[in-house]
Chains A and B, each alone.
Chain A
Amino acid sequence: MEEIKEIFLKLSKEKDVRYGELRVEESEITSISFRGKDLEELSVSKSKGGNIRILGRYGWGFVSFNEINPKSIRDYFDQAYRASNLILGEDLDIEYSGPVVDRVVIPMEKDFRGVPLEEKKRLLSEYNNIMLSFNPKIQSTQVRYNDRFTKRYFFNTEGVDIVQERGDIAGVLVAIAKEGDLVEQYHFSTGGIGGFQIIEDLHNEALHTAEMAVKLLSAPVVKGGEYTVVLDQRLAGVFIHEAFGHLSEADHVYENERLKELMVIGKKFGPDFLNVVDDPTYQGLRGSYKYDDEGVLAGKTYLIKDGVLVGRLHSRETAKKMGERITGNARAINYRFQPIVRMSNTYIEPENYSFEELISDIKYGIYAVGAYGGQTSMEMFTFSAQEGYIIENGKIGDMVRDVVLTGNVFVTLQNIEGIGNDLKFSQGGGCGKGGQSPLPVSTGSPHIRIRNVVIGGR
C-alpha cells in the first residue's frame, strides 16, 4: 500500500494537482439466508478495489478500478487527471481540513470472523424454526444475514493518511402468512457495528414477527383520509430522515438558488420543542464513523434547534460553496462511487411526554408502528408503517394494515404536536441516494404526534 500511495502522491505533485484522493478498500462478506424451510444461500465473497478522484479547476475526474499495482495506478491517475481537465465552466473550490494520520479500528465485542459458518447457520435456523412453527397460517419465512468486514485506506494530497476498519452486520426476519388468497408479511430488521452478539438473541423478535404476520391477515385496510397520527420510534425515525434529513443535505441546496432561499438558516420549520440532530460520532450505531469518505473528521450537527433551521450536512465542496462549517458527511457506499452528502445517525431529541399522554386526548386517530420504508422528493415525502391501530378517545383500538403516510415538509413539521420522552434508535436501516444503496444509517426518535397527516387508502 505504501508504494501505491507514494506513486499517487508523486504523480499528484508532478502534475501540480490542487486536490486529489486515493482510496483502497478490502472487504470480506458472508451471506446466509433461509427461505421457508430451505437454506437458500450460504456464500462468502472477497473484494479489493479502489478509486482516484482529482479536482480540476472546474470539476472532478474520478476513476474506480479493481486492478491495483504500480503500473495500473499510473494509468488510472492519468485517466482521472485528464478527465478533471476536460471540464470547463465555473471555478470550483473545496474546503480543506488539514493533514491527519490515523488508524481507526472499531472494536467488536464478539468478532463475527471468529464465529464458524456452522454456528451462524444454526442460530439463523433457530429463528426460522420459531417463525415456521408458530402457526399453520405461516406460509413461509425469510431469514437473511450478512456480515462484512471492511478495511478502507484513504490518502489525499493534503496529507490525510487514514486506515479505518469496521465490521458491519445486518439481519432481517420476514414472516409470510396466508389465508385463502390473502398474503400478508411482517419483517424485523436489525444490524450494527458492535459484533456478532447483536443478532444472537432475536428469539423474541422472531416470535413477534410471526405473530404480527398472522394478525395482519384479519386487519382491515386503513381508510384513506386526514388523521392525527402518533408514530412509534421506528417510524418517527424514518419520518425525520425522509421529511427533513434529505433536505438538509447541502448538495441538494448549494447550487439551487430558490431552494437556498427556502432553506435559509434561521427559518422556522417546526414547533419550539423540535430538535433534530445528525451525529456520526454517536457511539456504536450503524451510521457511526470517525472520518467520512473525504477524510474529514466527523462531528455532531444540529439541523433543527428549538424549531429553527440551524445547520446542514456538508461535503468539502458544498461547505466551501455555502461558506458553512464542514461536517464530515461525504460518504460513498463503496469504492465504485464518488462520495456524496449523506446522513449518518439522524434523530429527534426527546421531550417530556409519555406515550399515554401523547394519545390521551385524541378522539380519533391512527397509531402507526414500525417501518417498511420511505421516500422523499424534498417537498413531499411518503413513509409506510408495518401496522397501524385506530386510536379512539385516547385508547388504542383495532389493528389496520397498509398504512402509508404522506406529507409536505413545509407543513408537516409545523404540525408536530408532541414529542415523547422515549428516544430509541433503529439499526436496520439502509438509505438510498444517487444510485448508492444501501448505505448504513441509523434513525432515532421518541414517539411523536402529528396532526392532519394524509394516509392513503381505498
Chain B
Amino acid sequence: MEELIERLRMESIEGDIFVRRGTSTIVTFEANRLKSIESSESSGIGLRVLIDNKIGYASQYGIYEPDWLLEKAKATANIETKMQLPSDTAIKEDAYDSAIENISIEDLTKLGKGIVDNILSSYPDVICNVEIGKNHGESLIVNTKRIDCLRKKVSLTVGVHVNRIKGTDMLDVYEETAVKRLDRLDIDRLISKIIYALESSKNIVKPSKSRLPVVFTPKAVYVLLLPLMSALSGRILLMGASPLQDKVGKKVFDEKFTLVDDPNNPEGLSMTSFDDEGTPTKVLPLVDSGIVGEFYFDLHTASLLGKEPNGHGFRGGLGQPSPGLTNIIISPGESSINEILSSFDEVLIVDQMMGVGQGNILSGEFSVNIHLGFLCKKGEIVGRVKDSMLAGNAYNALSNIAGLSKEREWIEGSLYSPYICIPELTVVSKG
C-alpha cells in the first residue's frame, strides 16, 4: 500500500486506496440437518485517483498489480468533480469480541442444532433451514493526504427459515439476528418469535373490510422506509428526483416520526467514526418530529451539490463510494404493542411481504403481497391473512401514524425500529 501511495506522490497525483479483507465461516442446516460447512477468505484493493479534478478508478480482487491499477485508474479519469480528499487523520477501530472470536465450527453447529431441535419439539411437522455465520471484516482507507484509517469488525449472524405445508397451503416464517457481541445474542427470543408466528397461523382468515388499520412489525417497516432512504440520498437529490428536495425544515411526516442515522450507536453493526473515504461520520437527523432534516452524501456528491460532506460515503465490496446509511434508528412511541393492537376492533399485522422495492420507489407507492400477516381483533390474534395485496403510499402513510410501539427490535443489525401503526390502508383479497 505504502508503495502505491509513494508512486502517486511521485507523480503528484492525489488519490486514495481502499483495502477490504474478510474471512467468514458459515454452517448451513437444510431440512432440519447439517448440510454444509463453508469458509471463505477474501482480499481486494481499490485505487481512486484525482487528476485535474477528474476521478478515475480501478480495483482488483485476489491479485495485486500496482502497475495495472495505476495505469487503469489514470486511463479512466473522466468523472468531473470538485471533491477534496480529507487529510491528516489516523484512526484504528477494532470491534473485537473475544467471545465471538473463540467460537469454533463445532459451537456453531451445536447452536444450529439447538435451534432446529427446539422448534421441532413444539412443531414436529415443520422443516427448518438455519444459517449461522461468523464474520470478520477489515477495511483500510489510506490517501495521499495522510489519511490512514483502519476498521475491524466482527459479527455473528443467525437466520432461521421455517416451512410448513398443509394441503396446498404453505407457510414460511423467517427470522434473523445479527450481533457484534456474543452476549447480545438472544436465541430464545428468536425462537419464540417463530413459535408465535406458527401459533398465530393456525387459521386462515380474511379481513372483514378492504380498508383497515395496519401494524407493520419492525421487520416489515422497510417497505415504508425505502422511499425515504432513497429520497434523502445525495445522489437522488443531485438528479433532482427527490420528492423531499424542497422540503428540508418543513413538516412532511407525522410529528411522532423521528428517523436518525446514527453511526455512533454502539449496538449497531455499522458503528464507525469514519466512512469509507476517511471522512468523520456524523449523526444525521433525517426526519425530526416529522420535519425533514438532512440528506446524506459521499465526497463527490457533496461537492457537486455544494454541500458540506457528512461522512456517509460507503462502498459495496470494492465499488466506488456512494451515499450510504449506517445504523438507522426510529424513535419509539409511548404505548406497548399490545395496547396499540387492543385499541382496534380489527387490525392487520404485516410481518413479511413480497415485492418490496419492485415498483417505483421514488413515488412512495407500494403494492405488496402479504407473505406473512395476521388479523387481530380486540387485541387477540384470530389467524393468518394470505393471498392478499396491501397497497398504499409510504409518504401518505408516514404523514398520519396512529402509533409507534415503545418496544423496538434490531433488524439485520442495522435498523432499530418500533412497530408502526397506520390508521388505514387498502387490502385486496382473492375472491
Contacts and interface: CB of A to CB of B under 8 A. Distances in A.
Interface string B341-377: 0000000000000110011101101011101000000
Contact of A255 (B31, B210, B239): B31
A458 interface: yes
Interface in A37-59: 38-49, 58-59
A181 B42 CA distance: 45
Interface in B72-131: 72, 75-76, 78-80, 105-106, 109, 127
Given A43-B57, A49-B62, A224-B428, A380 B371 contact: yes
Given A66-B43, A83-B38, A183-B243, A404 B31 contact: no
A4 interface: no
Contact of B37 (A42, A84, A259): A84
Contacts, number: 263
B58 interface: yes
A118 to B, nearest CB: 9
Most B CB contacts (10 A, CB to CB) among A372, A377, A402, A452 go to A377
Interface stretch (B168-176, B255-263, B264-272, B332-340): B168-176
A456 B390 contact: yes
Contacts of B63: 46-48, 66
Contacts of B106: 86
Contacts of A117: 75-76
Nearest to A139: B240
Interface string A54-77: 000011111111111000000000
A15 interface: no
Chain A interface main SS type: strand
A413 B395 CA distance: 35
B33 A376 contact: no
A372 B37 CA distance: 35
B43 to A, nearest CB: 5
Contacts of B326: none
Given A59-B34, A89-B33, A456-B390, A178 B40 contact: no
Given A43-B57, A376-B354, A404-B355, A456 B367 contact: yes
A411 B169 CA distance: 12
Interface in B49-71: 56-63, 65, 68
Interface string A18-42: 0000000000000000011011111
Contacts of A183: 241, 243, 360, 362-363
Nearest to A453: B430
B386 interface: yes
A46 B369 CA distance: 40
A209 interface: no
B79 A402 contact: no
Given A49-B62, A454-B389, A455-B428, A66 B44 contact: yes
A134 interface: no
A59 B31 CA distance: 13
A42 B79 contact: yes
B307 to A, nearest CB: 16
A206 interface: no
Nearest to A259: B165
B248 interface: no
A41 B429 CA distance: 44
Given A62-B37, A89-B34, A384-B355, A458 B391 contact: yes
3 closest residue pairs by CB, A with B: A456-B389, A66-B62, A456-B367
12 contacts: A61-B37, A62-B38, A62-B39, A86-B105, A373-B358, A384-B358, A402-B359, A406-B354, A452-B431, A454-B430, A458-B393, A458-B426
Interface of A: 35-36, 38-49, 58-68, 79, 83-84, 86-90, 117, 121, 139-140, 142, 176, 178, 181-185, 221, 224-226, 255-256, 258-259, 262, 336, 338, 372-384, 401-402, 404, 406, 408, 410-411, 452, 454-458
Given A44-B59, A378-B172, 14 more contacts: A35-B239, A39-B80, A43-B76, A45-B318, A49-B62, A61-B36, A61-B38, A65-B40, A139-B241, A221-B365, A258-B166, A374-B358, A401-B360, A402-B360
